[in-house]
Amino acid sequence: MKKKIISFFKKNSHSSFKSKEIAKRLKLSTDEEIVSLKHFLYQLYEENFLTRNGKRYKLNQNPSAGKIIGELQISPGGFGFVISKDKRIGDIFIASRNISTAFHGDVVEVVLFAKRKGKNIEGQIVDVISRKRQSIVGTLCKSHVSYFVKPLEPEIHRDIYVDGENLKQAKEGDKVVVGNILWDTSLLNPEGEIIEVIGKSGSRDTEVASIAHEFNLPYKFSNKALEEAKIISDDFSEEELKDRIDFRNKTVFTIDPEDAKDFDDALSIEELDNGNYQIGIHIADVSHYVLLNTSLDKEALTRGNSVYLVGGVIPMLPESLSNNICSLVPNKDRLTFSVIVEMTQRGKVENYQIKKTIINSKRRFTYEEVQEIIEKKEGDYENEISLLNKLAQVLRKKRFREGGIEFSTPEIKFKLDENNLPIAIYRKEAKLSNMLVEEFMLLANKICATHFSTLKHKQSDPFIYRIHDLPDSEKIIEFSKFVKSLGYSFDPVSSKNTKQFHSLMIQIKGKEEEALINELAIRSMAKAIYSTKNIGHFGLGFKHYTHFTSPIRRYADLVVHRILFHYLSGNGKSIISPKKLDEISDHISATERSAIEAERASIKMKQIEYLENHIGEIFHAVISGVTYFGLFVKILDILAEGLVRVRDLEGDFYVYDEKNYSLIGKRTKKRYRLGDKVWVKLVRVDQEKSELDFIITEI
């Protein structure tokens, strides 16, 4: 809707319109569309994109007039960009000397310099409107007689001075949280006080706590929540079971990663007399135990999701629930909420039920064990696993045929020693066992969202959907230029058709540049978020989609369970107001982004720890980024990324060619392009700054 409005005013830049006139021109008719239109008109007015006179809106012809407010993002090179709320101004370049007393992520006010021909918009920060963080995590260091905290985040570009009287018994080398930060002049470093000593660097608990602080993730449960969890029992009465379908005598099992402790989902399958199959997708019934508006519920909402770090986890629910009472552990009766599907051999859903159930898992499988059973055609429950695998492949092919995109996002796994140090890094491969589970979880999520849409009698009935918008046209044009430079075909005009993405993913499958192109394709797309307004899921090609299958680790799924059960029980009025559900959707979308950033930081920390012992070694890499100051390179087997500085490119003076994603030698015309494969030698590891430096070498 927002994109439609922006496009409309750009085409009608000299006229003003009432909302009714815009609705008519855009052919909007439903109440939901009109409400959405008015919401985004006001938002664009707030963002300075539109002006308003009474009820009439008009394109703002002078958007840079007055204050320019935006968020500062500081690059590893020390300079920054302010991302303006006004989309027409674009990003404002801020030289390091003009950053003043702002930190990465702060909301700031900017004054623009006069634009010079061929130069980006440039400005100077004149005020910090609000700080992103009230405290900063770092390592306590000592220099002669003074102490300072070196921030863990490389984007926090200044060390923080700490008076010796404000150490709170912290010792040199400890991970600490520094707060009460004062920074009045850029001529001096900021000053602060130690407000918490996290612990000695390197320990598992210290690492988890420091990342939690860094990304503002709550990791300690309140006493009230722990008390509530303590009195919850896994015993249940016959009364509680009377309306549940009993699967305890059926063959039900879980399939999870080897190191998993919380088991959200289980599967069952049996052949019916008519030749079809009944598949049970059984999900932990967390909503039975975690009741709305309890302390447990409020803390789960605050967290939004579990955060999985290397060697540790910050759970959404206390361990007594997440790893035991709610978890579908083997040989224990467990309460579940199930999607029970009747399916033909060709993957057609003939019928389904969404019902509360009780199961008793007969086996806890790892992905590796199931993969071995699939390949060798022998082992526990081989018949059930083979049938599920066969149907999963049918569903997978059907999904891609109908518009789903097969992204291949490589992941890595660490082997840690007893001191929590990485001794090996492996690339995870998505095998048939992973795909088996994925397809049935996607099916359950799709069925639940579709079913709710058929239950709705009023537009105001709220629900949480998992949505994925169409790609941004400008980013897609850039992406198409890049893939064409590597010799692949991609038409940006047809990018709204998912089949073109799918075709590209097939072309690059197994190629060395597969990971990079996948990553850039995902970056060019909108991010999947939670919303009460359903626009479908572009990447999956689904008209209706939600999250139902992981309520132990995602609050979205817990809410969806509550709403679905409420309506399935024949209750009319919604249990959560539309406004509250909108707030929840925005909040859990934000906590998901924080979790992703924290997980990436944890991975990067362990990659750097691992590579500290490999200085001087040569690695095969791909150029993953090109800037005027050097080349970012990503090691192909362990996916660690570092920098080849332009000053270390020998034999020539290299010039940055922005349009062609290249550095080009002035004399030799030698070219280093985004996507090129190179051999690199690791020459420097800086754990404090999270930096890896490489040089290009021959093998």
Q: Angle CA(667)–CA(671)–CA(674) in degrees, nearest 5?
A: 155
pLDDT at residue 66 tops 60: no
* The pLDDT value given to residue 307: 96
Q: How far apart are the C-alpha atoms of 105 and 214, rounded to whole Å?
A: 12
Residue reference for tokens 């008793």: 360
**Is pLDDT larger for residue 459 or for residue 402?**
402
List, in order of start, the domains of the chain with CATH numbers. 2-59 (1.10.10), 68-130 (2.40.50.140), 136-201 (2.40.50.690), 223-466+540-600 (no CATH), 474-523 (no CATH), 615-697 (2.40.50.140)
* The pLDDT value given to residue 383: 97
* The pLDDT value given to residue 573: 75
* The pLDDT value given to residue 356: 97
pLDDT at residue 317 tops 80: yes
Per-residue pLDDT averaged across 100-124, rounded? 80
SS3 125: strand
Kind of pairing, strands 630-635 and 618-627? antiparallel
- Residue 619's pLDDT band (cuts 50, 70, 90): very high
Q: How far apart are the C-alpha atoms of 228 and 221, rounded to whole Å?
A: 11
pTM over 0.75: yes
* The pLDDT value given to residue 308: 94
**Residue 640: how many CA atoms within 13 Å on its side-chain side?**
30
Please say whether the beta carbons of 602 and 211 come within 8 A.
yes
pLDDT in tens, 132-147: 888 888 899 998 888 9
Nearest CA-CA partner of 100 in 109, 113, 88: 109
* The pLDDT value given to residue 117: 54
* The pLDDT value given to residue 476: 87
pLDDT in tens, 472-489: 888 888 888 888 888 888
* The pLDDT value given to residue 219: 85
Among 439-448, 479-488, 523-532, the least confident range? 479-488
pLDDT at residue 322 tops 90: yes
Among 83-97, 190-204, 278-292, 417-431, the least confident range? 83-97
* The pLDDT value given to residue 428: 87
* Mean per-residue pLDDT of the chain: 90
* The pLDDT value given to residue 226: 97
* The pLDDT value given to residue 394: 97
Q: How far apart are the C-alpha atoms of 506 and 498, rounded to whole Å?
A: 13
Q: Which two tokens stand for residue 151?
A: 């921030």
**Is pLDDT larger for residue 457 or for residue 587?**
587
- Residue 67's pLDDT band (cuts 50, 70, 90): low
pLDDT at residue 62 tops 70: no
* The pLDDT value given to residue 458: 54
**Is pLDDT larger for residue 350 or for residue 184?**
350
Please say whether the beta carbons of 516 and 678 come within 8 A.
no
pLDDT at residue 389 tops 80: yes
- Residue 116's pLDDT band (cuts 50, 70, 90): low
pLDDT at residue 4 tops 80: yes
Q: Which two tokens stand for residue 131?
A: 């700080």
* Sign, Cα dihedral of 165, 169, 174, 177: negative
- In this prediction, what percent of the chain has a pLDDT beyond 70? 96
pLDDT in tens, 658-690: 888 899 999 999 999 988 999 999 999 988 778
* The pLDDT value given to residue 223: 95
- Residue 118's pLDDT band (cuts 50, 70, 90): low
- Residue 515's pLDDT band (cuts 50, 70, 90): confident
- Residue 520's pLDDT band (cuts 50, 70, 90): confident
- Residue 209's pLDDT band (cuts 50, 70, 90): confident
Q: How far apart are the C-alpha atoms of 695 and 690, rounded to whole Å?
A: 17
Q: How far apart are the C-alpha atoms of 157 and 96, rounded to whole Å?
A: 10
**Is pLDDT larger for residue 406 or for residue 452?**
452
Strand partners for 426:
413
Per-residue pLDDT averaged across 604-626, rounded? 94
- Residue 615's pLDDT band (cuts 50, 70, 90): very high
pLDDT in tens, 139-177: 999 988 889 998 888 778 889 999 988 898 888 889 999
User: 435 CB contacts (<8 Å, ≥6 apart)?
Assistant: 392, 393, 396
